[in-house]
Amino acid sequence: MRLRGLHPAQVIVLGFFTALALGTAALMLPIASVGPGGASFMESLFTAASAVCVTGLAVVDTPTYWTGFGHVVILALIQIGGLGVMTFATVLGMLVARRMGMRSRLSAAAEVKSTALGGVRRLLQRVVRTALVIEGVVAVVLWVRWWALGEEPLRAAWLAVFHAVSAFNNAGFALWSDSLIGYSSDPLILLPLCAAVILGGLGFPVLLELRRELRTPLHWTMNTRVVLLASGALLVLGTLFFTASEWRNPGTLGPMGVADKVLSGFTQSVMARTAGFNSIDTSQMTSTSWFGTDILMFIGAGPAGTGGGIKVTTFAILYFIILTEVRGDVAVHVLGKRLPRSTHRQAISVALLAVGLVVGSTMVLLTIEDYGLDRTLFEVISAFATVGLSTGITADLPTTAQLILVGLMFVGRLGPITLATSLVLRRRTRLYDLPKERPIIG
């Protein structure tokens, strides 16, 4: 099939699949892993999928299994996956050829959720520039801190760059076997990483609008307002929830002081929204905390950003739809604006497709290997929402179950609607309408 005749959604899917294939091949090279003979196909595939889908789940220990070359490959996949394969490829093409065709513009615009084709070149440049600036600032702060903690300057610089990129892209890959548990009481490490995760999770449309209209909130679009309000509310509620539910747990927050408990509670709230780092042992959390994490992971971050989940805008729209129905209003209003009915359908479709994928995958995994509903559901949602948090069972799952998680990461990064659209070759235009009839609801 020629690329010229593909729908933009199909091009995006093909781009991610190509990046996944190249990443898998690179990680299978003997130079990429520490052991003799190179990594297996499944280890390479799972790691490449987790990196390009900015998830962070792993079947091997990232810092000890992969060499420096392997870590560079993982970092490149994280950056490509976070920015978007078509965004990255289009900007690279602009740098090399100084031009971009209509097909590239359509695909890149679809990926960053832009409708203004004429300004795609400028938009993509701003997206890349914004990402690099945020990653650079966070990397400098982390470099200074790790240097002060006794790391060699070059080692501190590598740690800073790797974790800044991983954090902004909401990937959650760390160069320590226990993720960030060793820094659970260090705000100069955790807070910069949290800031990068939050900014990446807001989404590029929000970041670019804040950059342009920061001092004029009355000019903000509905998308920006909803993302900021919903994200802020979830961060506060998540912090209160994790701090309270794990306060006395001897395996997590129990031994810490009050300030460290609040810091770790806040960090867990941030990371549960698709980042994947953890400053406490996730496997030792209570079932209540696991379920709360499931909810936050499923909701996810902002649209057209580096995070996953069904997106906070989808969740907010569903809330307003329910509120409208309860009140008996005719139209759905959000922050002084009326929502078009197509938005209702899209939000409901995304949510129901996501629920179906999570429920179906959980049932299959329970059939393959029964680790209990709470652990299995946690792993499935973590993969679908591209979070990367784990209760510790990922590496022990059989190959079939790991392949299901790979598929969930792929679908979660692209989005159920994008993937569904890519499978449809053309839109159906109905030349007639059918008579209306209402079933009984509720």
Cα separations in angstroms, 340 against 79, 111, 131, 321, 332: 34, 22, 32, 11, 8
Cα separations in angstroms, 41 against 139, 399, 403: 32, 11, 12
CB 196 within 8 A of CB 170: no
Supply 190's token pair: 């955790």
**Rounded CA separation 414/113 (Å):** 12
**Rounded CA separation 198/170 (Å):** 9
Cα separations in angstroms, 243 against 78, 121, 236, 268: 30, 44, 11, 9
Q: Determine, yes or no, domain membership for 439.
A: no
Angle at 200 between CA 311 and CA 316, to 5 degrees: 25
Averages of pLDDT over each 10 residues, the chain, 442 residues: 59 84 96 92 96 93 96 95 66 49 51 52 79 96 97 96 95 94 96 96 87 87 93 96 96 96 96 91 95 95 84 93 90 88 87 94 95 96 94 94 95 75 57 78 72
Stated pTM of the model: 0.89
Give the pLDDT score at 344.
87
- 389-416 residues labelled b (16+ CB within 10 A) or e (exposed): bbbebbeebeeebbebbbebbbbbbbbb
> Concatenated DSSP letters for 204-227?
HHHHHHHHHHTT-GGG--HHHHHH
Q: What is the DSSP letter of 339?
A: P
Classify the C-alpha dihedral 402-404-407-409 as positive or negative.
negative
CB 301 within 8 A of CB 273: yes
Give the pLDDT score at 1.
43
Give the pLDDT score at 204.
82
Neighbouring C-alpha atoms within 13 Å toward the C-beta of 342? 0
Give the pLDDT score at 8.
66
Supply 367's token pair: 């059939």
Q: Determine, yes or no, domain membership for 441.
A: no
**Rounded CA separation 231/301 (Å):** 7
**Rounded CA separation 31/302 (Å):** 37
Cα separations in angstroms, 33 against 13, 72, 261, 339: 28, 12, 37, 51
> Concatenated DSSP letters for 133-157?
HHHHHHHHHHHHHHHHTT--HHHHH
Give the pLDDT score at 345.
86
Structural domain for 261, as ranges: 3-422
Phi, psi of 256 (to 5 degrees): -85, 160
Q: Determine, yes or no, domain membership for 287.
A: yes
Q: Determine, yes or no, domain membership for 200.
A: yes
Cα separations in angstroms, 294 against 49, 238, 268, 320, 373: 21, 12, 12, 22, 12
Supply 322's token pair: 């329910």
**Rounded CA separation 122/1 (Å):** 30
| Enclosing H/E stretch for 333 | strand 333-334
User: Quick count: other Cβ atoms within 10 Å of Cβ 240?
Assistant: 14
Q: Determine, yes or no, domain membership for 383.
A: yes
H helix runs in 369-415, sequence order: 373-384, 399-414
Q: Determine, yes or no, domain membership for 386.
A: yes
Provide the domain count of the chain. 1
Q: Determine, yes or no, domain membership for 262.
A: yes
Q: Determine, yes or no, domain membership for 427.
A: no
Adjacent-strand bridge partners of 33: 66
Residue 388, Ramachandran bin (φ over 0: left; ψ between -120 and 50: alpha; else beta): left
CB 304 within 8 A of CB 113: yes
